[in-house]
A and B are shown apart, each in its own frame.
Chain A
Amino acid sequence: MALSWLLLILLALAVIGYFAGRSRALASAGGDTRDLHSLPSYYGYNVALSALVPALVVLIIWLLVQPMIVNSTVSGIIPDQAIPEGSNRGLIMSEVRRVANGLEGAVASGAMTEAQAQDGSADIETLTKTLKDAGQVLTQDITQPILVAAQKFRSMTSTGTVAMQVVVLALALLGAAFAYVRTHKEFRARNVVEQGVLALLLLAASIAILTTVGIVLSMLFETMNFFQLHSWKDFFFGSTWAPNFRGGSELSILPLLWGTLYISLIALLVAVPIGLFAAIYLSEYASGATRAIAKPLLEILAGIPTIVYGLFALLTVGPALVSMFGQGGTLGVGWMASSNAVLTAGLVMGIMLIPFVSSLSDDIINAVPQSMRDGSLGLGATHSETVRSVILPAALPGIVGAVLLAASRAIGETMIVVMAAGAIAKFSGNPFEAMTTITTRIVSQLTGDTDFASPETLVAFALGLTLFIITLGLNIFALYIVRKYREQYE
């Protein structure tokens, strides 16, 4: 029985439970709804929820836990000798899963009988041939231990699934029956349902939080694995980034951090003045009509996917910069060799951040009370004097917060730097050179053939965690400043 059938049966049970509970409640009140403690539908919901919720919770947990148990048991029965040189248990296990799936598929399509699939002493060659003929994907030759493991895998999975179905259905029936029996006109169905709904909402909220915690923890574990394989001193205080998949890599974050900060700095140099001036124009000078058009337009810019900005950098800004600063360019200086450069990435990232800075600053400038403007204008200050000497100083803390938020976005930005910054990790102050950032190195260490036991791959997690901590710190600090500023005028 497929999962969808199970879900359908559960739903049907809930619907039946709803009507049964409702009519039982009505019957207990002799058909007069005024005698009931709650509206009749609440009795129905109570039965339906009692059937559905425990069964679904167990179902979800079961689906998560069963593969783990099966995997660890099966991987335990593979003998050490069965793992060839240059491979590992993880790789063998994925092969086992593939074979198990192949057997499953072959049985389902009729290319093989159930007995053949379970035959532990089957001839490997015939079996391989049958599977391949049945169109199943196998990457490696099947060996005897793999076959045995795969068969074990299949039998455990199918027993587990049957057990799950039985347990889930039994739970649903039990829940429904329990709630049905309790249904009586005195029963406080409304309060019980409200509590059930509250629990569901709470569950949704905690899933979001728990996922975040889970992400951080998994990064933390991988990072700890990395530090067992690689010295932390080199990571934090080394000076070279030179990953080498044959070993002996130098994996220091510092050159990457330098590239990240340098590009972010250029981005902020572009975004902060332009964004701030745009915000001042919008909030202080623009007429209502202009504002109504310009503000949404700016905010649309903020919704453009960063990969599009990356393309813009690659195809337009980079070549334009080279034709200006490159060999034989308009300026005739020959500073820029390739369109991949700190300047290209910084400029485009700055453009990306303009709407971010301007929309935050606009909100902050608007929060400066009108009485400040009146006070200044009433003393005979011009509009621009008022903006310069009263409004901007009053808004400064909030604007600083906005800039910090922008900085944390710049530091975590990936696509633009992947496409426009280059791949060379070095300390250099020359904005026309290619450099690389933490985010691009995470991408490159994790793409392609990866081996999650080597420091060259695991370093990505250490980089990611460091980045996470830096941006988290910046965000907290920025939000603190922005919030403090908001309170000032409330």
Chain B
Amino acid sequence: MNDMTRVERTVDSKAIKIAAKKVQVYYGETHAIKDVDVEIEDKTVTAFIGPSGCGKSTFLRCLNRMNDTIDICRVKGDILLDGEDIYDKRVDPVQLRAKVGMVFQKPNPFPKSIYDNVAYGPRIHGLAKNKAELDEIVEKSLRRGAIWDEVKDRLDAPGTGLSGGQQQRLCIARAIATAPEVLLMDEPCSALDPIATAQVEELIDELRSRYSVVIVTHSMQQAARVSQKTAFFHLGNLVEFGETGQIFTNPEDPRTESYITGRIG
């Protein structure tokens, strides 16, 4: 577990991007998230870890209101983005999701060309005045997604024809194209091979300079490698939240310790 010390930990505190207070989530009768308080900083990678079924994805999906698309799901409590309640009636979830982008577990490029995949968000939000501007957004996003060099000669080829790792970086580029402030990633590497995983992890580290990144991961090594803050979830509770180094080397809660030493999970 030498990787743990690899990322240099900036301890100086940054602006709070998202603040969640007393969040409860119910699927029908099931109480999936219980009383979660968490503060996510800007320009930081925050990792959510925990055994499967503990509610990591559920909580992540609260942050861009993707849970609204599930009929039986109810969210209570406050989630503030830059101090504004995102569950307020005046907030349009559709606008919110452009600001809080999401990358999913399985790469899900649309069955369209690579160009159209990336241009999809800017087009529906009217971010480009003309074709030249759109081209520029597409190129910039693909560059930030660290995939430009691989696809620049075949922007018209279908996005579904890329390899798994390329598809996932395309999906990240697609999310970046709507100029988000926060990027949510739900186990973005779980369908990728080790090489593609390394590429995506490197990319996440670069993204930190511009965005606030929240990543759900199954792999503790990955959390240790890419994140500065780590939150440990267990049975719908947020058990521990703190500096990644702290959580992995000196956890306060015995449940956290059992999990990272492999006794629960």
Contact = CB atoms under 8 A, between A and B. Distances in A.
B134 to A, nearest CB: 15
B171 A377 contact: no
Contacts of A287: 71
B125 A380 contact: yes
A373 B97 CA distance: 13
Contacts of B108: 369, 371-372, 374-375
Interface in B54-104: 64, 66, 69, 71, 94-99, 101-102, 104
B13 to A, nearest CB: 29
30 contacts: A371-B104, A372-B108, A373-B69, A374-B69, A374-B104, A375-B108, A375-B110, A376-B110, A377-B97, A378-B66, A378-B97, A378-B175, A379-B97, A379-B101, A379-B121, A379-B178, A380-B95, A380-B121, A380-B125, A380-B178, A381-B94, A381-B120, A382-B94, A385-B124, A389-B124, A390-B110, A390-B120, A393-B111, A393-B112, A394-B111
Contact of B174 (A374, A379, A393): A379
A393 to B, nearest CB: 7
Interface residues of A, number: 20
Interface residues of B, number: 27
B21 interface: no
Contacts of A389: 120, 124
A49 B241 CA distance: 76
A229 B190 CA distance: 72
A377 B110 CA distance: 12
Nearest to A368: B111
Given A375-B110, A376-B110, A377-B97, 17 more contacts: A375-B171, A377-B69, A378-B66, A378-B101, A378-B175, A379-B98, A379-B102, A379-B120, A380-B95, A380-B99, A380-B121, A380-B125, A381-B120, A382-B124, A390-B120, A393-B110, A393-B111
Nearest to B106: A371
A287 B174 CA distance: 31
Contacts of A393: 110-112
B120 A376 contact: yes
Interface in A291-319: none
Given A371-B106, A371-B108, A375-B171, A380 B96 contact: yes
Contacts of B112: 393
B173 to A, nearest CB: 12
A393 B116 CA distance: 12
Considering the complex of A and B, which 9 residue pairs feature the smallest CB-CB distances, nearest first?
A: A380-B98, A378-B102, A380-B97, A371-B108, A375-B108, A379-B121, A394-B111, A381-B124, A380-B94
A264 to B, nearest CB: 30
Contacts of A394: 110-111
Contacts of B124: 379-382, 385, 389
Nearest to A288: B71
A390 B96 CA distance: 20
A297 B95 CA distance: 38
Interface string B24-56: 000000000000000000000000000000000
Main secondary structure of the interface of B (DSSP, over half): helix
Interface of B: 64, 66, 69, 71, 94-99, 101-102, 104, 106, 108-112, 120-121, 124-125, 171, 174-175, 178
Contacts of A377: 66, 69, 97
A290 to B, nearest CB: 12
A371 B191 CA distance: 14
B192 to A, nearest CB: 15
Contacts of B175: 378-379
Interface in A383-412: 385, 389-390, 393-394
Contacts of A378: 64, 66, 97, 101-102, 104, 175
Contacts of A375: 104, 108-110, 171, 174
Point out which of B66, B108, B121 has the most chain A C-beta atoms below 10 A from its C-beta.
Answer: B108
A224 to B, nearest CB: 48
A374 B94 CA distance: 12
Nearest to A379: B121
Point out which of A287, A371, A375, A394 has the most chain B C-beta atoms below 10 A from its C-beta.
Answer: A375
Contacts of B106: 371
Nearest to B111: A394
Nearest to A381: B124
A378 B112 CA distance: 17
Interface string A360-375: 0000000001011111
A380 B124 CA distance: 8
B175 to A, nearest CB: 7
Contacts of A488: 111
A135 B95 CA distance: 89
B120 to A, nearest CB: 6
A142 B6 CA distance: 112
A389 B124 CA distance: 10
A484 B236 CA distance: 42
A390 B117 CA distance: 10
A369 B102 CA distance: 17
B112 to A, nearest CB: 7
Contacts of B120: 376, 379, 381, 389-390
Nearest to A383: B69
B110 A372 contact: yes
Nearest to A287: B71
A370 to B, nearest CB: 9
A394 B125 CA distance: 21
A432 B58 CA distance: 59
B172 to A, nearest CB: 12
A372 B120 CA distance: 13
Contacts of B71: 287
